Amino acid sequence: MDVIGVIPARYSSTRFEGKILADILGKPMIQHVWERAKQSLILDEVIIACDDERIAEAAKGFGAKVAMTAKGHSSGTDRICEVVNPMDVKVIVNIQGDEPLIQPTMIDAVARTLLEDRNIVMTTIMKKIEDSAEVNNPHVVKVVVDRNGFALYFSRAPIPFRAQNSDVTAPTYYKHIGLYGYTKDFLFMYKNLPSSNLENIERLEQLRVLEAGFRIKVLETKYDTIGVDTPEDLEKLKSFLGKG
């Protein structure tokens, strides 16, 4: 296989336990994610990697392929590695189970970039911020990139910071959307990198990659998403969907 999508799904969540099965318009959240992933034109397979029978039962109920994993994984990356380790595949797309508005075109973009350029080992997505309230929201991760579209830094703080004497009237802010593509070789290299200082400060795992000296290609999308981290996010999502 060339490309597979894996949706890591953990039942326990510090801020919102069981959110992966939260009802959205009559379907569990993870079903919305899976259905969008299945619309991808590039994925050869989509697997839900979970640690709880409640998730597995729900996923099998709507027809998904399920892989049970160990409960002790500290990250979705580790959970994905357990699933793909024995598989012969070139590219893996990490599809977050709490991003029910993810677009199939985003999935195709991160995977296709890796297939077309062997010098790129990791890809992700950014979206121009339109709502000024998101700039100072620590739950909305911001990213800045170089002129070639590679990440310079990710932060929960507003970046770039506008200095008082800056002649730029208003900087453009981009939010990071937590969709990742990796070559299989790099995924396992990433997994074995030691936890980094910046990663621990910001609580952003992708900073481990930058701090180790690797590059992440960041692709821009016009589509927005609403990641569900809290019950308040879920209500915001339901309100958005209710408006069509």
Helix 76-84 and helix 184-191, axial crossing angle in degrees, nearest 10: 130
Domain with residue 148: its CATH number is 3.90.550.10
**Number of domains the chain is built from:** 1
Structural domain including 209 reads 3-239
For the stretch 191-200, pLDDT in tens is 999 999 999 9
Strands 65-68, 142-145: pairing kind:
unpaired
* Rounded alpha-carbon distances, angstroms, from residue 61 to 19, 23, 55, 64, 65: 18, 15, 10, 8, 10
Q: How confident is the model at residue 15 (pLDDT cuts 50, 70, 90)?
A: low
Residue 71 scores a pLDDT above 70: yes
Q: Answer whether residue 175 is part of any domain.
A: yes
Which of 16-25, 77-86, 192-201 is predicted least confidently? 16-25
Residue pair 180/123 in contact by the 8 Å Cβ criterion: yes
pTM for this structure?
A: 0.92
More confident residue, 230 or 179: 179
Residue 243 has a pLDDT of 66
Residue 203 counted as domain residue: yes
Task: Answer yes or no: is 150 within a domain.
Answer: yes
Per-residue model confidence (pLDDT) at position 3: 97
- 145: number of CA atoms within 13 Å, CB side? 22
Which phi and psi (to 5°) does residue 57 adopt?
A: -65, -45
In a domain, 244, yes or no: no
pLDDT of residue 208: 96
Report yes or no on 187 lying in a domain: yes
pLDDT digits (tens, 9 = 90+) for 111-169: 999 999 999 999 999 999 999 999 999 989 999 999 999 999 999 999 998 877 667 67
Question: b or e along 202-228 (b: 16 or more beta carbons within 10 Å of the residue's beta carbon)?
Answer: bebbbbbbbeeebbbbbbebeebbbbb
